[in-house]
Structure 1
Amino acid sequence: MKQFQRIFKYLRGYSGKIVLYFLCILLSIVFSMVSLAMLAPFLKLLFNKEDLVLVAPETVRSASDLLDYLMYQISTLIVTKGELSALAFICLIIVSSILLKNVFLYLSYRILAPMRNGVLTRLRGDLYDKVLKLPVGFFTEQRKGDLISRMSNDANEVEWSVMMALEVLIKEPLNILLYLVGMIVISPKLSLFLLIFLPVMGFIIGRVSRSLKRQSTEAGEKNGMVLSILDETLGGIRVIKAFTAEKLLGGRFHQMNADLNHIRNKINFRKDMASPLSEVLGVLVLSGVLWFGGQLVLGNNAGGLTSDGFITYIVFFTQIINPAKSLSSAYYNTKRGSAAIERIEEIINAPVVVEEIANPVSIASFEKSIEFKNVSFAYNDVTVLHNINLTLEKGKTVALVGSSGSGKSTLADLVPRFHDVTSGEILLDGVNIKNYSIENLRQLMGIVTQEPILFNDTIANNIALSKPDAAIAEIETAAKIANAHNFIVQKENGYNEGIGDRGSKLSGGERQRVTIARAVLKNPPILILDEATSSLDTESERLVQDAINHLMQDRTSLVIAHRLSTVRHADEIIVLQKGVIVERGTHDQLVALDGFYRKLVEMQEVR
C-alpha cells in the first residue's frame, strides 16, 4: 500500500465523509443480514407450530432478545389471525430490510462519488502544476507522448483501477467480516473449518496476479511510445510525405501498437481469471461446508447444528462469495493501478532544480546591468558553458554568435532561470538573480523563440498571453509595431480568428510576427531574442526584420544572432565555441581580427 500514500493523503481532507460512508455501508450490511437472518427462523415458526413463542421476552437489550420478540409477534399473529397474516408480516420485514439496505447503499454511493472524483481532480491538478514547475531541461529528455500518456491514460487507470479498488477494499472486507461474525455465532466449529480454506484461496489468487504490475508498467511505457510516434507523425506529416517515409513510420507505429496489444492481452487474461477463479474456489469451499455442516446437523451431538441454523449459515456464506470475488478482482486492479501511480509519481516527485528561495526579493524594474561572473553550466556531467564573464548594460544590445552546439541558447536560458548556473553567479542590478522572485524576474523579460510557439486559440489571445486583460486597442497597437496588423484584419474574423494547432493556419512569417507582437505587448525592459533561421520570402523577411528592429528599440537585448544585419548593429558581439568565449568586440573589430568570427561570416553561419 506504500504506492497509494498520495491517494490516502488526498483522502485525509474527506475524513468526515469517510466516516459517514463507513456508517452507511455498515447499516446497509446490517439490514441485509436482518433480511436473511430472519428468513429461516420465521419459516420454522410457520411450518413447525410446536416451536411457537407465546411468551414475550421481559426486555429487549440484544439482537437475540429482538429476534425472540419478533418470533413472539409472529407466533401471536399465527394464533390470532392465521398463517397468511404471519407470512405477510414476514414479507413486510424482509421488504423493509432490503429497502433500508438499498437506501443506505445509495447514500454511500452519493458520498463516495464526489470523493473519488475529487481525488482524481487533485491528482491531475498536481500533475499539471508540477509540469509547469519543472525546468526546461526536464522536457528535453522526455518523450512528449509519454508525458501525455501519464497525464491521461495513467490518470484514468488510477481512477478505474485504484479508486474503484479502494471502494471495494472498504466495503467488501466489512461485508465479509460481519457475515463471518454471524456465522461464528451460529456455529464456531463450522466457521473454524471454513477459515482453514480462506488463506489457501488468498495464496492461489496472489500467485496468479504476481506479474500483473510489471506487465502494466510495460503497457504504460509502450502506450507512451505509441503516442510519441503519433505526435511526431502529426507534427511532421509534410516531411513524411515529401520523403515517402509512410512505410517507415507506419512500420514503427504498427510494431509498437502490436507490442502494446500483446501486453494488454496478457494483462486481461490474468485479470479476467480473477472472478471465475474465485467463484470456483468459493464453490469448492461451499461444498466442503455442506459436507461438514451436514454431518453436524445429522450428528445431533453437543456441537451440532439445528436445521434452521444450518440454512441461515449457508445463506450467510453465499453472501460472502460475491464480496470475495470483488476483492480478488480489486487485488488484480490494484496491481495494475500501482504501476500507473508509479509512472505518475515519477513526474510529481521529479526534482525541481530551479527553486525559489524562502523569502525572495521583489523587483519591478531594471535599472543598471546584467552581469555574468565566472559562470559555468554542466548538464548530466557534460560542461556546456565554462567561465563566462559578460556584462550587458541597460539599453545595450549583445549578440551571441557561434556554430551549432556552442552554448548560445543555454547562455540565454540562464538569464530567466530556465536553468541555474552550476558555478559562478548572474547579477541583475548587482543582486544574484537567485535571490529574486522568479515571477518578478521573468516579468522583466520578453522572449522571442527561434521557432514561433503559438497556441490553438485566437490571434488576440495569443498576443495577450502575458496580459490577458489587455484591451483590444493595446493588442492592435502591439500588432502594428510588429507589422502584423495588416494581415490580421484581412482574416475573416480579424483578431478573433482561430489559428489552429501551433498556429498551423498562419504562414511562417505571420507566426513570427504574432510572437513579436506578443513580446511588444508585454513591453519588457529586457529582450531575449533567438532569431529565426527558417527561410522566408523576401517580403516576409523584410517585415519580420523590421518588426524585430522596432521591438529592440530602447530595450536591453540579448540576441542569439543569425543575421548579419542584427550583428552589425550590436554594441558587443560574443563569439562562443564549445561553451567558451573565444572572441568579443564589434563587427568591424572582429572582422579585422581575422579569427573565428570572420570564418563564421565567410561560412555564412552569420548571413
Structure 2
Amino acid sequence: MKNLQKILKYALNYKKYALLNIISNILSVIFELVAMLLFIPFLNLLFNEKTVIVSSLPQFSFSKDYFEAYFNFTMNQYIADNDKLAALYFVCVLVGAMFLLKNLFRYLALFFIAVMRTGIVKDLRKDIYNKILILPLSYYSEEKKGDILSRITTDVQEIEFSILNSLEMLFREPISVILSLAVMIAINPHLTLFSLILLPITGLVIGRLGKSLKRSSSRVQQQMGVLLSTVEETLTGLRIIKAFNAEESSNKHFDQQNSSYASLTLKMTRKRDLASPISEFLGAMAMVGLAYYGGSLVLDGNSDFNGGEFIGYIIIFAKLIAPVKAFSSAYAIVQKGAASADRVDAILSAKNPILEKENPEILNTINENIHYNNVSFSYNKSDIVLNNIDLKIEKGKTIALVGESGGGKSTLADLLPRFYDVSSGAIEIDGINIKNLSLHGLRSLIGVVTQESILFNDSVFNNISFGTNNASREEVIEAAKIANAHEFIIQLENGYDTNIGDRGGKLSGGQRQRLSIARAVLKNPPILILDEATSALDTESEKLVQDALTKLMKNRTSIVIAHRLSTIQNADEIIVLQKGEIAERGTHSQLLSQEGIYKRLSDLQTFSN
C-alpha cells in the first residue's frame, strides 16, 4: 500500500483539478438527491396520505423540517392555483432540471479528473524513463530487458486502468455515500442505523477478494515480463534461430510461456469479475432486509414514518447501494493495480551507486595524465575482476589493453567514464579523483567506439550528431569524411537524411562502425576508448575503419582494447592483462623480445592467419 501512496503522490501536481472534481461531484450528488426528495410529497398524495397544509412561508433554518415545510408551502400554493395533475407536471419538470444539472456537473467531474489521470500517467512514464537512463549498467546485468519494458508499458497501463480509472470513483462515491446517509438519517435515523449494520458485510467480503486479486495480478505482470523478454531475445537472435532451424523449439518455448500467462490471466479475471456479483447480491439482501424492517414500521402505524417517506427512503437507499458497490469493486480493482505499482516502484526506488558529489569540480580537458592508482574492482565481493592496477597514461599517448577474454580489459576501460565505480583505489585525471568531477563533465571528455556499433533507428545525420547539440550539417559532413564514411553516405537514397533502420540494419558492419567513429569525431573528445572496434570486420572494411581510427586518435589520449594485435603495434605502451592483473607491459617490440604471454598471443594469431 505504501507503493500505491507513492503513485498517488503524483496527483499533488494536479490538486487544482482534484478540487474541481470534488466540487463538481458534490453538486452532482446534491442535485440528484434533491430530485429524489421532490417526489416524496407526491408519493404521499398518490398513497392518499394526509397532506400537510402550510399557509405561510416558514422561517429559514438549516434543517429537514424547514425544507419540508418550504416545499409543502410551495406545493399548497401551486395546487390551490391549479390542480394535482398540473402540480405533478411541475414537479416532473423540476426533477428533469435537477437531473440535467446533476449530469452537467457529473460531466465536469469526469472532465477534470481526465486531466489529472493522463497527467499522472505522463509523469510516471517520464520518471521511469529518466530512472532507466540514470541507473548504472550493473543494474541491467541483473534485470531482463523484457521485464523492464513490461514495467514501463503494461504495468503503467495497468496502473492507469486499475488505479487511476478508479480514482474518480474513490473521489465521488464517498461523497455520494455521506450525503445520501445524511438525507437518510434526516428521514428516519432508526432505519438508517439498521442499514449501517448490513453494509459493512459487503466491504469485508470484497476486501478479502481484493487481497487475493493483488497476488494474482503480481504473478500475471511478472509472467508478462518473461514473455516480453522472450520476444526481445527472439528479435535479437532471429538470424541464429533461422540458421540453426530452431523455429520449432522457439515456438514451443514461447507457447509454454504464453499458455502460463493466459492461465494466470484467466484466474485473475475470474476473481476480478466475482467482486461485482458478490457486492450486488449482498446489496440486494440488505435491500430485502431493509424493506421488511421499514415496511413493518409503516404498517405498524405508531410512527411518523409514512408510505411516501418509506418509498423515497428505499429509492435513496438503492441509490446508496450503487456507490457502495462501485467503491468496493474499485477497491478490488485498485488492489490489482497495486501489484503493478509495486513493480514500477522497484525501478523508481532502485538505488544508484554512481553518485555525484555536491558542487563537483569541472574539468574541460586533460592537461597531464590519467592515473589508475592501485585500482581494484569486483562485481561482487567474491569475484575480483581487477586487482591492484597501477597504470599511468600520459596526455596524447595511446595505451593498448590485450589479453585473454575475461581478463578485465573492458572493465578497466568502463571504470574511466564511471559506468562502474572502483571497489578500492582511485582513478585520477590530472591528479583529481574522477569521483570529485561532474559526471556530465567527465563523460564529455571521453569518446567511445565499441565492437558492436550502437546506432539508432533514425537518420544518418541524427546518428552522427547524437549527443552533440546544434551540430551543423557542415560539421557532420566533415566528421563523416574523417571517418571515411562520406562516400558511402552520399550514395544512400536520401544521403545524410536516410533512415538506417533498427540498430543500423540497413548498413554493412563496416559502414555502421564508420558512423560510430564519425559520431566520436564530431564530439571531439580529448580522451578515446576504442573497445575492439575492428574485430568484427572483414579485411577491406577493417582497413577503412582502421584508417579512420588513426585519424581519430591523432593528438588524443587513447585506450585501445584490441583483439587483433596487428592493429596496436604502434601503441605507445601495451598492457597485457591476465586474471585481472598486469602481467606484462611495454612496446610491441619489447614484449616480443620477452617471449612471454604477448609473444604467445602474437604467434597464435600469426599461425592462424
TM-score range, shorter chain: over 0.9
Match of 2:320 in 1: 320
2:261 paired with 1:260:
yes
Asked if 1 retains the 8 angstrom alpha-carbon contact of 2:416 and 2:427, the reply is yes
Q: What is the DSSP-based 3-state SS (H/G/I as helix, E as strand, rest coil) of the residue aligned with 1:272?
A: helix
Distance 1:61 1:45, change over 3 A: farther
| TM-superposition CA deviations, 1:289-326 (whole Å, max 9, x none) | 11111111111224x62111111110011102221221
Give the counterpart letter for 1:521 in structure 2. L
Alignment of 1:435-584 (within 5 A): 435-532=436-533, 534-584=535-585
Distance 1:89 1:395 in 2: 94
Shift of 1:223: 0.6
Give the counterpart letter for 1:140 in structure 2. S
| TM-superposition CA deviations, 1:191-234 (whole Å, max 9, x none) | 22212222222222223333211211111111111111111111
Alignment of 1:117-516 (within 5 A): 117-302=118-303, 305-381=305-381, 382-516=383-517
Q: What is the DSSP-based 3-state SS (H/G/I as helix, E as strand, rest coil) of the residue aligned with 1:273?
A: helix
Give the counterpart letter for 2:97 in structure 1. S
Give the counterpart letter for 2:123 in structure 1. R
Q: What is the DSSP-based 3-state SS (H/G/I as helix, E as strand, rest coil) of the residue aligned with 2:225?
A: helix
Give the counterpart letter for 1:548 in structure 2. L
Distance 1:155 1:2 in 2: 17
Asked if 2 retains the 8 angstrom alpha-carbon contact of 1:74 and 1:89, the reply is no
Tell me the percent identity.
48
Q: What is the DSSP-based 3-state SS (H/G/I as helix, E as strand, rest coil) of the residue aligned with 2:211?
A: coil
Asked if 1 retains the 8 angstrom alpha-carbon contact of 2:373 and 2:389, the reply is yes
Give the counterpart letter for 1:111 in structure 2. F
Give the counterpart letter for 1:90 in structure 2. V
Shift of 1:97: 1.0
2:26 paired with 1:26:
yes
Shift of 1:536: 2.9
Give the counterpart letter for 1:461 in structure 2. N
Distance 1:116 1:207, change over 3 A: same
Shift of 1:41: 1.5
Match of 1:110 in 2: 111
Q: What is the DSSP-based 3-state SS (H/G/I as helix, E as strand, rest coil) of the residue aligned with 2:605?
A: coil
Asked if 2 retains the 8 angstrom alpha-carbon contact of 1:398 and 1:559, the reply is yes
Asked if 2 retains the 8 angstrom alpha-carbon contact of 1:45 and 1:52, the reply is no
Distance 2:251 2:188 in 1: 66
Q: What is the DSSP-based 3-state SS (H/G/I as helix, E as strand, rest coil) of the residue aligned with 2:22?
A: helix
Distance 1:533 1:570 in 2: 16
Asked if 2 retains the 8 angstrom alpha-carbon contact of 1:445 and 1:526, the reply is yes
Q: TM-score, normalised by structure 2?
A: 0.97
| TM-superposition CA deviations, 1:61-119 (whole Å, max 9, x none) | 32532332222111111111222321222012201211111121111112111111111
Shift of 1:516: 0.5
Asked if 1 retains the 8 angstrom alpha-carbon contact of 2:449 and 2:531, the reply is yes
Worse overlay, 16-25 or 222-231:
16-25
Distance 2:63 2:324 in 1: 26
Worse overlay, 171-180 or 339-348:
171-180
Give the counterpart letter for 1:157 in structure 2. E
| TM-superposition CA deviations, 1:359-386 (whole Å, max 9, x none) | 1111212111100111111112221111
Asked if 1 retains the 8 angstrom alpha-carbon contact of 2:403 and 2:577, the reply is yes
Asked if 2 retains the 8 angstrom alpha-carbon contact of 1:212 and 1:335, the reply is yes
> Please, which runs of 5 or more residues in structure 2 have no aligned partner?
none
Asked if 2 retains the 8 angstrom alpha-carbon contact of 1:54 and 1:76, the reply is no
Distance 2:177 2:39 in 1: 20
Q: What is the DSSP-based 3-state SS (H/G/I as helix, E as strand, rest coil) of the residue aligned with 1:582?
A: strand
Give the counterpart letter for 2:213 in structure 1. L
Match of 1:41 in 2: 41
Match of 2:17 in 1: 17
Asked if 2 retains the 8 angstrom alpha-carbon contact of 1:375 and 1:424, the reply is yes
Give the counterpart letter for 2:513 in structure 1. Q
Give the counterpart letter for 1:80 in structure 2. D
Asked if 2 retains the 8 angstrom alpha-carbon contact of 1:457 and 1:498, the reply is yes
Give the counterpart letter for 1:197 in structure 2. L
Distance 2:49 2:562 in 1: 104
Q: What is the DSSP-based 3-state SS (H/G/I as helix, E as strand, rest coil) of the residue aligned with 1:248?
A: helix
Shift of 1:533: 5.8
Shift of 1:50: 4.7
Distance 2:281 2:418 in 1: 62
2:55 paired with 1:55:
yes
Shift of 1:129: 0.6
Worse overlay, 386-395 or 98-107:
98-107
Distance 1:513 1:32 in 2: 70
Asked if 2 retains the 8 angstrom alpha-carbon contact of 1:45 and 1:71, the reply is no
Asked if 2 retains the 8 angstrom alpha-carbon contact of 1:448 and 1:529, the reply is yes
Distance 1:67 1:291 in 2: 26
Worse overlay, 161-170 or 401-410:
161-170
Distance 1:50 1:301, change over 3 A: closer
> Please, which runs of 5 or more residues in structure 1 have no aligned partner?
none
Give the counterpart letter for 1:179 in structure 2. S
Match of 1:83 in 2: 84
Distance 1:306 1:58 in 2: 22
Q: What is the DSSP-based 3-state SS (H/G/I as helix, E as strand, rest coil) of the residue aligned with 2:255?
A: helix
Distance 1:604 1:139 in 2: 34
Shift of 1:603: 3.0
Worse overlay, 76-85 or 244-253:
76-85
Distance 2:7 2:432 in 1: 42
| TM-superposition CA deviations, 1:268-306 (whole Å, max 9, x none) | 00001111111111111111111111111111224x621
Q: What is the DSSP-based 3-state SS (H/G/I as helix, E as strand, rest coil) of the residue aligned with 2:250?
A: helix
Distance 1:415 1:54 in 2: 91
Give the counterpart letter for 1:358 in structure 2. E
| TM-superposition CA deviations, 1:390-442 (whole Å, max 9, x none) | 00100000001111111111110011111111111111011011111110111
Distance 1:440 1:123, change over 3 A: same
Distance 1:364 1:236 in 2: 41
Distance 2:199 2:297 in 1: 21
Worse overlay, 191-200 or 249-258:
191-200
Distance 1:523 1:209 in 2: 58
Shift of 1:52: 4.6
| TM-superposition CA deviations, 1:334-371 (whole Å, max 9, x none) | 11111101111111111111011011111212111100
Asked if 2 retains the 8 angstrom alpha-carbon contact of 1:455 and 1:500, the reply is yes
Distance 1:2 1:464 in 2: 43
Worse overlay, 403-412 or 164-173:
164-173
Worse overlay, 54-63 or 209-218:
54-63
Distance 1:20 1:487 in 2: 60
